[in-house]
Amino acid sequence: MDTLATSAGEIAQSVRVGDVSAEHIVNVYLDRIRRLDGELHALLSVDEAGARAAARMLDSLPAEQRTRLPLAGVPLVVKDNILTDRLPTSAGSKILAGFYSPFQATAVERAVAAGAVVVAKGNLDEFGMGSSTEHSAFGPTRNPWARDRVPGGSSGGPAAAIAANLAPLALGSDTGGSIRQPAAFCGIVGLKPTYGRVSRFGLIAYASSLDQIGPLARTVRDAGLLLQVISGLDARDATSSAEPVADYLAELEYPLRGLRIGVPSQYFGAGIEPEVRSVVMSVLDRLKAGGAQTVEINLPHTEYAIAAYYLIAPAEASSNLSRFDGVRYGFRAGASDLVSLYQNTRAEGFGGEVVRRVLLGTHALSAGYYDQYYVKAQKVRALIRRDFMEAFAEVDVVVTPTAPEVPFGLGSRRDDPLKMYQSDICTVTANLAGLPAVSVPAGFVEGLPVGLQFIGPAYSEALLLRAGRMVEEVVERPRWPLDEP
């Protein structure tokens, strides 16, 4: 078989029936990583020996055990803010450089138990704070489609790795769009599950009430395959949900007729590049031709989402990142007394964007400002969710562009935080409302990928995947940028 041309689902099937060994699959991908990642820098660490050992272990399993593994032998890239036991986990920060966790994230554990082989850790904006992966302490990742441009962020490493076929599947995390926006920028599929659908145990927290782990893949089906494995209640995450997990792959087989798609004016107006808008509108036209309905809807509090998000996320981050104090693990700066130890360690260990958000969040929670900023933002957040609840009385899903723009040039945004924050306008609302959302490739603008996003009601992942599948069917897929001719 042509390993590189096949999907994760097909790879797993071949390994299950013994057509190909897991070790062979892993070697093919490791070889590709060695050849291509030098330039892309999608990955922060690669576990060649561990991956091969894991693959050989899979190959040595009795056939009847292997046939039960939905991800048998599928190489997996894990964003480097998700804990793995063999590879270090840095969260893209100097403060955690070389940190080895004594435990593994639930999502990784479940993927590995399903037969996935962790091959590498993916680059990211430090602690997930950014939309370009330029805020990684270990250097930026390049977009495989245009190497002078960013892959998006913060899961830019995993997204670029999928687009460059360094692995068929990746786990990312999404706090305000960190799976979906890089998926859009890299022309792949990325899904942020309903809050609580996937355990956050082992995800290094950025903003606890917004963070979710989710899959990145080349196809909707592959994304569903990984989502299936990682979803469900985890007794180690009190905010995970006991809601039963749907059979995503089975549901994908049912065609979707008469889907009512809400089109909110707030996501198609000013601030969205016209070329991006027309790519998305054109896909909608094709969906309508296929029998879907579009309905104009109103999500009136959308314009406040960025302000609410950039108070809530930094506030929680300021608290979550306090544990990085140089006492028990991670980087420690030289200091002769305790307070200097804290101050030096955190000043030298955190990058500029992290410092900015920690200070912003600290201010938002501080005496005299808490009600004005944090509580107010949480009330506006409730209204943003209410907007969606009302919309879902009328429509099945809401459609938006995933990002208001195409991938921008490396280094073109770094000096304007507010502008950078505003580019998250299409994605932060799903996190604020706790809703699932998927980004699927919608087309290109001058060779640069554009993503389309569906947002659905809580636990509507199956529906979102089916809607995404519909888009796949009407969008012509060009040749992948780095796949062999």
Partner 1 sequence: MALSEQMVRHVATLARIRVDSKDEGRIGAELSRVLEYMTMLERVDTTAVDPMWQSVDATWDGQRDDEVQSSLERAQALANAPEQRDEMFLIPRILGGEEG
Partner 2 sequence: MADPSYEVVVGLEVHVELKTKSKMFCGCANAFGAGPNTNTCPVCLGMPGALPVLNREAVRMAVAAALAFNCTIRQRSRFDRKQYFYPDLPKAYQISQYDAPFAEWGSVAIRSGSTRRTVRIRRIHMEEDAGKLNHLGQNLQSSAGSLVDLNRAGVPLIEIVSEPDMSSADEARAYLNELRTVLSYVDVSDLRMEEGSMRCDANVSMKPVGFVGSLEDLPRVEIKNVNSVRNVGRAIEYEIARQSRLLAAGEAITKETRGFNDASARTYSQRSKEEANDYRYFPEPDLPPLMLTGEWIASVKAGLPTLPDAWRERLTGMGIADQDIETLVHDPAQLAFLTRCLEYESDVRLVTTWMLSDMLRLLNAADLTFAESPVGPEQLAELLHLIGDGTLSGRMGKELLENMFATGKSAKTLIEQLGMAQITDDRVLREQVTSVIADHAKVVEDYRSGKAKALGFLVGQVMKRTRGQASPEVVNRLLREMLDE
Quick one: DSSP state of residue 409?
A: B
CA-wise closest residue to 170 among 162, 178, 179: 162
- Tell me which residues touch partner 2 (CB under 8 A): 82-83, 89, 91, 96, 99, 101-103, 105, 200-205, 207-209, 235-239, 315-316, 318-319, 322-325, 327-329, 338, 342, 362, 365-367, 370, 374
* List 138, 267, 268, 331, residue binding partner 1 (CB under 8 A): 331
8 A C-beta contact, residue 464 and residue 251:
no
* DSSP calls for 113-179: HTT-EEEEEE--SGGG--SSSTT-TT-PPPBTTBTTB---SSTHHHHHHHHTTS-SEEEEEESSSTT
What is the spatial distance between Cα 354 and Cα 125, in angstroms, rounded to a whole number? 9
Dist CA 79 CA 389 (whole Å) = 31
C-beta atoms surrounding 261 within 10 Å: 20
Q: Which stretch binds partner 1 (CB under 8 A): 7-15, 48-56, 306-314, 404-412?
A: 306-314
Is 90 annotated as catalytic?
no
* Total residues binding partner 1 (CB under 8 A): 71
Restricting to residues 353-372, which ones interact with partner 1 according to CB under 8 A? Answer: 355-356, 358-360, 362-363, 366
Q: Are strands 260-264 and 293-297 parallel, antiparallel or unpaired?
A: parallel
Residue 125 and residue 133 in contact, taking contact as beta carbons nearer than 8 Å: yes
> Is residue 85 close enough to count as binding partner 1 by CB under 8 A?
no
Among 35-43, 180-188, 297-305, 395-403, the segment contacting partner 1 (CB under 8 A): 297-305
Q: What is the side-by-side strand order in the sheet with 43-46?
A: 43-46, 117-122, 75-79, 169-174, 212-217, 189-192, 437-445, 448-455, 397-401, 260-264, 293-297
Query: Binding residue for partner 1 (CB under 8 A) from 418, 446, 479, 484?
Result: 418
Selected from 56, 68, 288, 379, the binder of partner 1 by CB under 8 A is 379
**Partner from partner 2, partner 1, none contacting 304, C-beta within 5 to 8 A by type:** partner 1
154 is catalytic: yes
- For position 481 contacting partner 1 by CB under 8 A, the verdict is no
Q: Minimum CB separation from partner 2 for residue 369, in Å? A: 10
DSSP per residue, 243-292: SPPP-HHHHHTS---S-EEEEEGGGSSTTS-HHHHHHHHHHHHHHHHTT-
Q: Which of 93, 173, 178, 460 is catalytic?
A: 178
Per the DSSP assignment, residues forming a β-bridge with 217 are 169, 189
Q: Which residues contact 139 (CB under 8 A, 6 or more apart)?
A: 41, 123
* Backbone torsion region of residue 196, taken as left when φ is above 0, otherwise alpha when ψ lies between -120 and 50, otherwise beta: left
Is 260 or 363 the residue whose CB approaches partner 1 more closely?
A: 363
Options 47, 126, 325, 405; binder of partner 1; rule CB under 8 A: 325
Instruction: Indicate whether 86 belongs to the interface with partner 1 (CB under 8 A).
Output: no
Q: Which of 138, 145, 185, 310: binder of partner 1 (CB under 8 A)? A: 310
Q: Are 357 and 313 in contact (CB under 8 A)?
A: yes
Active site annotation includes 288:
no
Q: How far is the CB of 351 from partner 2 (least distance, A)?
A: 16
Q: Give 309 or 374: the residue with its C-beta nearer to partner 2.
A: 374
Rounded CA gap, 25 and 295, in Å?
45
Count of CB atoms within 10 A of residue 64's CB?
7
Question: What is the closest distance, in whole angstroms, from the C-beta atom of residue 363 to partner 1 in the complex?
Answer: 5
Site map for partner 1, 159-178, x if CB under 8 A? Answer: --------------------
Least distance in Å: CB of 355 to partner 1? 6
Q: Which of 79, 94, 121, 192 is catalytic?
A: 79
* Segment interacting with partner 1, rule: CB under 8 A, options 67-75, 144-152, 221-229, 336-344: 336-344
List binders of partner 1 among 102-161 (CB under 8 A). 102
How many Å apart are CA 311 and CA 253, to the nearest integer?
A: 41
Catalytic residue among 93, 132, 154, 318: 154
Q: Does 270 bind partner 1 (CB under 8 A)?
A: no
So which residues are the catalytic ones? 79, 154, 178
